[in-house]
Amino acid sequence: MRVLMISKACVTGMYQRKLEELARLPGIDLHVVVPPYWREGPRRLLLEKVYTAGYNLYVVPMALNGNFHLHFYLGLRRVFDQVSPQLVHIDEEPYNLATFQAMRLCQLRGAKALFFTWQNLLRRYPFPFSYFERHNFAHAACAIAGNQEAVQVLRAKGYTGATELIPQFGVDPELYCKNRPSTQLDGPFTIGYVGRMVEEKGVQVLLRAAAELEGEWSLRLIGDGPYLPQLQALSSQLGLDRRVVFQARLPSQDMPHQLNGLDVLVLPSLTRPHWKEQFGRVLIEAMACEVPVVGSSCGEIPNLIADAGEIFPEGDAQALRYVLTRLMRSSDLRAELGRRGRARVLARYTQRQIALDTHKVYTSVLQHGTDC
């Protein structure tokens, strides 16, 4: 099967591992379109060519780069002409112009198409995005949803086609694995957060929970974002400056080492009218390293963690403090959750497993038309 994937997310080198795993599977001739970079606010995420074996990579210029809804590819038609794909995996939300662009080319070439969605809030879009969405719903052979609520949103919006629940990317368990530094054994109990510093990620809840923790502990907060000054001010206000370390965002290849320096990772996300947690990738990264995880009840977090970590009601600092106290006092509980976490990742969230699940969708679409 000749498959063309269109994915701005694959500018990130670590995510290309899924592409290599896909390309190794039987009967697939994989071609992938990426832009030379993706603009994220003031930063450019430049294309990293890290895992590129076994498939053809096309670097295609992008118009309106950085505009999530309106970007599109310049020269995409030429790639279609070169590849003559049987199936096109549009790694974009159905209401985006890039999805509409690729879907129209699929119609002209007689190729099957599927799209990907994370959207777990029922939101109605104005024209032209509503038109793009309706058109893509009508012509897609299948939809891949990254979380359970995204499937419900598709149905509520009128999409009647086949759907499959598969996260966009997994982790490489050979890179993300247990490798604790020996110095950690003698240090304080280390609590960590990794992610964007924005209000909805709930780091302020974590700070308030930590403020009344007893014993020897430290808190490591890794990431950048507009809410960082407020969090630093709150840390000082709570008298935590000597226990809290703020670190800038790190390259993805440094993450396994950083995670292994933690005794527990916390993702305290908060539901907001415009957002709730769609997945929580850092959770599976920590779980793969056998670091116990604690997550709020926001969005997909409870489904992702299941019985391989601890869940607390979102926004409840007292409940989070209770969970952290239990973990601090019990190395046996931490070890058990660490084992469960890695087992869950190996069963569901490796790049290879996600590639296998995606390959099944491709095969089914090409064999049965619109039935994933």
Any idea what the CATH number is for the domain that residue 40 is in?
Answer: 3.40.50.2000
Quote the number of domains for the chain.
2
User: Does residue 360 sit in the same domain as residue 286?
Assistant: no
* 175 belongs to a structural domain: no
Is residue 82 included in any domain, yes or no? yes
- In-domain check, residue 25: yes
d(CA 41, CA 51): 26
Q: What type of residue is 287?
A: M
298-307 tens-digit pLDDT: 999 999 999 9
How confident is the model at residue 199, as a pLDDT? 97
Tokens of 307: 């019985």
Rg of the chain taking only CA atoms, in angstroms: 21
Question: Is the same domain home to 355 and 335?
Answer: no
Are 130 and 267 in the same domain?
no
Segments forming the whole domain that contains residue 91: 2-170+350-368
Same domain, 140 and 216: no
Q: What is the pLDDT of residue 41?
A: 82
pLDDT given for residue 370 in this prediction:
60
Q: 8 and 23 share a domain? A: yes
* Same domain as 223, residue 164: no
Same domain, 122 and 206: no
Residue range 189-208, pLDDT digits in tens: 999 999 999 999 999 999 99
10-residue stretch averages of pLDDT, the chain, 372 residues long: 98 94 97 96 90 97 97 98 98 98 97 97 95 98 97 96 95 91 68 97 98 95 96 97 92 87 97 95 97 98 97 98 97 97 97 97 88 56
User: Alpha helix (H) ranges present in the chain?
Assistant: 16-24, 76-83, 97-109, 129-139, 148-156, 203-211, 228-237, 255-259, 281-288, 301-305, 317-329, 331-348, 351-368
> Domain check: are 268 and 249 in the same one?
yes
258 occurs within a structural domain: yes
What is the per-residue pLDDT across 6-23, written as a single tens digit (0 to 9) for each? 999 999 998 999 999 999
176 assigned to some structural domain? no
Q: What string of H, E and C letters represents the secondary structure of 320-366?
A: HHHHHHHHHHCHHHHHHHHHHHHHHHHHHCEHHHHHHHHHHHHHHHH
How crowded is residue 241: how many other Cβ atoms within 10 Å of its Cβ? 11
Q: Are residues 236 and 337 in the same domain?
A: yes
Residue 58 lies in a domain: yes
In a domain, 285, yes or no: yes
Based on the domain organization, do 364 and 316 belong to the same domain?
A: no
Q: Are residues 97 and 188 in the same domain?
A: no
Q: Tell me, yes or no, whether 325 and 339 share the same domain.
A: yes
- Let me know if residue 177 belongs to a domain: no
Let me know: does 304 contact 364? Beta carbons within 8 Å.
no
